[in-house]
Amino acid sequence: QVCAQLCRRPCYCPWVPPRCPRGSPLVLDGCGCCKICARRLGEPCDFLHVCDQSQGLVCDYSSASAGTGATCNFEDDEEGCEVNGRVYRDGEVFQPSCKIQCQCLDGGFNCIPLCQEDVRLPTPDCPYPRRVEIPGKCCPEWICEAQDQHLLRDARAVSPLLRFPCQEWGTEWSACSATCGVGFATRVSNQNRYCRLETQRRLCMVRPCPALPAAFPAVS
């Protein structure tokens, strides 16, 4: 309807196209009829006087309702992110599961765990801690599993490996304790023949230490 009111057919255009300022290319007007200078950022625009789309500009009518005319502005291209088939808005916080919370940011998303990643080491009153899923609860919890010492002793006598299945668990190795030369890294893991949580160490070396400068020979 707007096109029918503003656009005349056939087109009547000046013989000589306008000379545009630097940074303003020649484009077809809103009727697709005559060549005009594309409007730049912050310049007034309307249906006929279009903005420079090569710069990502569109005619922003949001300020027109405030009494001022429309101006050329960058297109509000709000990116979202898709997770498990659902699209979330930029900045929206969501929970794909009860164990993590995520936020959509610039087309991607960052997540943080909601369950504590604490470590429970064996103690005399709880020699066999085990992390298990509790029905009705989201986060796993540590329990003290009671083991029959006789069965455990018999199992060790028959085989160095435990006969019950062991669900491996461990933290990441820490940074090397030395910035140069040989140091050690630590972690907590149950990857041993008794499937018990323990602090483990291993040697590491980030880089060799620089050689000390040789002492000057004594002058006789």
The 10s digit of each residue's pLDDT in 162-219 is 455 677 788 888 888 888 777 778 888 887 777 777 778 777 777 777 766 555 555 5
pLDDT score at 154: 44
Give the H/E segment covering residue 200. strand 198-205
Q: Which residue has the higher pLDDT, 66 or 176?
A: 176
Q: Are strands 71-74 and 81-83 parallel, antiparallel or unpaired?
A: unpaired
Q: Quote the tokens at residue 60.
A: 């922003």
Residues whose CB is less than 8 angstroms from the CB of residue 106 and which lie 6 or more positions away in sequence, other chains included: 79, 90
Domains annotated for the chain, with CATH where assigned, are 1-76 (4.10.40), 81-113 (2.10.70), 117-146 (no CATH), 169-209 (2.20.100.10)
Burial per residue of 37-52, b for 16 or more beta-carbon CB atoms within 10 angstroms, e otherwise: bbbbeebebeeebbbb
pTM: 0.35
Predicted pLDDT at 50: 93
In this structure, the dihedral spanned by the alpha carbons of residues 5, 9, 13 and 19, taken in order and rounded to 10 degrees, is 50
Q: What are phi and psi of 130, to 5 degrees?
A: -145, 140
Q: How far apart are CA 143 and CA 128, in angstroms?
A: 8
Model pLDDT for residues 135-154, shown as the tens digit of each residue: 888 888 888 876 544 344 44
